[in-house]
Amino acid sequence: MKVSEAFFDLAYNLKVNRVYGNPGTTEIPLLKSLNESKIMYILALHDGLSVGMAEGDYYYSKKAQIVNLHTVLGLGNSISFLFSALKNKVPMIVTIGQQDRRHSYYEPLLYGPNEEIVKPVVKEVLCPFVAEDVPKMLMRAHKVANTYPYGPVALILPMDMMDEECGKIEKIETNEFIFGDYEEMVNEIAEEINSSNNVAIVVGHEIEIFDAENELVEFSKKLRAPIYKEPLCSRGVIDNSNELFVGELLPASLMINQALANYDLILLIGGNFTLYPYFPFELLKDKKIIELSYDYKETTKNNWKVYICNVKNVLKKLCDLVIPKNFKRDEIKEIKLFSKAATVRNQMGIEYVFYRISKFIKDETIFDESISATMTLKDYLPIKPKKYFAARTGHLGWAMPVATAYGIVGGDAIAIIGDGSFNYSSQSLWSAKRYNANTSFIILDNRGYGILKSYSLARYPELLESDWLSPETNAEKIANSYGIEAKSVTTPEELDNSISWVLNNKEPRLLRIEIDRSIPKLF
């Protein structure tokens, strides 16, 4: 059996459904053995987008798919997407083509140091030396990618190796994890909780990754303590209408310290304190913090008590042991948001736009890359577990391909994206059209880079007039050129009909909303 045949034979058995890529000559020897009746090849018009699409696929299918990158150049194009997949803990197998080994000494065209380049942005790099290794390494890559913390695993495949002979793998093995019953640990944590007067719960992405949403709700109901989300939370985690949910922490030590100042115990459950702008304040100094996480690498950054565990199991057990506190959240939070939205209606302020969008959203999954508007989005839109995704990296151009693939493989997606972000990956629209993605694209057009303007306003106001902060393009026209139905809306009077138009459709559509271009005060 040829290596290329053994590769896909195993891929079929691993239940891989799709290969994403934009191939070059170095990948053709592998792809010639792909049986498209078993695994579909989905074409992206840019290598990086194929990584993003595999990520979107995972969010719907819960399966690690294959990404097929075109040697060093395709890899180079994909670095930011791989980095996001790594940080977002999304498993995928990334094959990277390599030049024919027989003349690699000469460093021919398309030859490159793939292993060195990819290493920092994947969980592991596997480089088979002999043909026999390829199926074994695919198996290993699949295991590594699917072992928590999940992430992309690279497999570098020289093109000449694809036609060599090798054996096939008959038996599929997976790693199974057996978690202890945590009895001692749980009792210890419960004791700490019960001896504290004022407890805050801070939750993060692991809640969703370990399917612990129900356990979190039950635990918090029992404890009746306020729930915060980790800063820049990339997942839905908890319904934002939950009676104990207070909001998301801001990604700065000063803001986190202020928000949690009054609590004598902070339970950090499956999340991180991601920081963004620098403040010269130590994070949560002298605070009692208990962290539950399975990501031992992340937790080593912290100087507080950490329990490495499956948060689902621990939360379940804690429910029976904690004594209730008496937190009540602001009962008129929703009315406050409504009033704020009404204040900015006439100028198409972002609060008003999101408020109206919230009236039309049903059960769609939100892919958020609204950047300067993301905190507002999280206040106004219905955020639910497994129905909200964002990049943990600040990656621009991420949401377009991710939402596209989610809509292609069976999900109902809404991508909410700034005009700046849209221009990084607008080619996703071609794939959306070609594969009929059930994805609605909403472009919030403030005619420039809102986040940069906000930062400049706070630190370097002299830069605000710089031309390079305000590139203007027209997403509607770009969408039309890819054959996507699109329209623009500029006034509050037209807004509702336009939102309804873009959302109530099974085919991809794009709505460009001209929002208030006032600079938000985010820093």
Minimum Å distance from CB 43 to other proteins? 44
Q: Quick check: 174 binds other proteins (CB under 8 A)?
A: no
Q: How far is the CB of 347 from other proteins (least distance, A)?
A: 11
Give 343 or 518: the residue with its C-beta nearer to other proteins.
343
| CB distance 105 to 115 below 8 Å | no
In terms of CB distance, is 261 or 332 closer to other proteins? Answer: 332
Rule CB under 8 A: is residue 286 a binding residue for other proteins? no
Looking at the Cβ atoms of 39 and 246, the one nearer to other proteins is 246
- And the tokens for 383? 């955020």
Choose between 413 and 522: whose C-beta lies nearer to other proteins.
Answer: 522
Q: Which of the 8 DSSP states describes residue 401?
A: H
Q: Which is nearer to other proteins, 305 or 333 (CB)?
A: 333
Looking only at the bridges linking them, the beta strands covering 92-98 and 18-21 are unpaired
CB of 339 to other proteins, least distance (A): 4
CB of 332 to other proteins, least distance (A): 5
Q: 460, 155, 518, 503: which is closest to 359 by C-alpha?
A: 503
Is residue 174 helix, strand or coil? coil
Token reading at 57: 């696929």
Nearer to other proteins, 315 or 489 (CB): 489
Q: Quote the CA–CA distance of 440 and 337 in Å, as a whole number.
A: 25
Mask of contacts with other proteins, 358-387, x by CB under 8 A? ------------------------------
Q: Which of 443, 442, 444, 432 is nearest to 506 (CA)?
A: 432
Query: CA 74, 151, 52, 19: dihedral to nearest 10 degrees?
Result: 70
* Smallest gap from residue 341 Cβ to other proteins (A): 7
Q: Among 287, 305, 345, 386, which residue sits at the site for other proteins (rule: CB under 8 A)? A: 345
CB of 201 to other proteins, least distance (A): 26
Question: Contact between 458 and other proteins (CB under 8 A)?
Answer: no
Rounded Cα gap, residues 407 and 500, in angstroms: 18
Query: Of the two residues 339 and 481, which places its CB atom closer to other proteins in the complex?
Result: 339
Stretch that binds other proteins, among 110-118, 200-208, 288-296, 336-344 (CB under 8 A): 336-344
Exactly one of 28, 130, 342, 458 binds other proteins (CB under 8 A); that residue is 342
Using H for helix, E for strand and C for coil, what is the string for 303-352? CCEEEECCHHHHHHHHCCCCCCCCCCCCCCHHHHHHHHHHHCCCCCCHHH
Among 35, 343, 436, 491, binds other proteins (CB under 8 A): 343
Only one of the segments 100-108, 220-228, 289-297, 329-337 lies at the binding site for other proteins (rule: CB under 8 A); that segment is 329-337
CB of 352 to other proteins, least distance (A): 9
Q: Which stretch binds other proteins (CB under 8 A): 97-105, 200-208, 335-343, 430-438?
A: 335-343
Binding of residue 331 to other proteins (CB under 8 A): yes
User: Which C-beta is closer to other proteins: that of 462 or that of 493?
Assistant: 493
Which residue of 241, 339, 505, 518 would you call a contact of other proteins, by CB under 8 A? 339
Q: How far is the CB of 521 from other proteins (least distance, A)?
A: 13
Task: Give yes or no for residue 258 binding other proteins (CB under 8 A).
Answer: no
Task: Output the CA torsion sign for 469, 472, 475, 480.
Answer: negative
Among 222, 288, 325, 340, binds other proteins (CB under 8 A): 340
Q: Applying CB under 8 A, does 338 fall inside the site for other proteins?
A: yes
CA distance 413 to 419: 18
Residue 273 φ then ψ, to 5°: -95, 80
Q: How many CB atoms lie within 10 A of CB 441?
A: 31
Residue from 79, 211, 253 nearest 154 by CA: 79
Segment near other proteins (CB under 8 A); pick from 184-192, 321-329, 334-342, 386-394 = 334-342
Q: Nearest distance from residue 492's CB to other proteins, in Å? A: 10
14-53 residues in contact with other proteins (CB under 8 A) are none
* Total interface residues for other proteins by CB under 8 A: 11
Closer to other proteins by CB, 347 or 504: give it: 347
Task: Report the C-alpha gap between 488 and 33 in whole angstroms.
Answer: 45
Classify residue 38 by its DSSP letter. Answer: T
Q: Which residues of 363-401 are buried (b: 16+ CB within 10 A; e: fewer)?
A: ebbbbbbbbbbbebbbbbbbbbbebbbbbbbbbbbbbbb
User: Radius of gyration over alpha carbons of the chain, in Å?
Assistant: 24
Distance CA 388, CA 365 (A): 6
Q: For other proteins, which stretch binds (CB under 8 A), given 17-25, 50-58, 327-335, 446-454?
A: 327-335
Residue 341 sits in the site that holds other proteins (CB under 8 A): yes
Q: How many other C-beta atoms lie within 10 A of the C-beta of residue 424?
A: 21
Q: What is the dihedral of CA 91, 364, 251, 451, to 10 degrees?
A: 110
Q: Is 451 helix (H, G, I), strand (E, B) or coil?
A: helix
3-state DSSP of 19-52: EEECCCHHHHHHHCCCCCCCCEEEECCCHHHHHH
Specify burial of residue 213 (Cβ count, 10 A radius: 0-12, 13-18, 19+).
buried
Binder to other proteins among 332, 363, 468, 521 (CB under 8 A)?
Answer: 332
Interacting residue with other proteins among 15, 103, 336, 459 (CB under 8 A): 336
Residues that bind other proteins (CB under 8 A): 331-332, 335-336, 338-343, 345
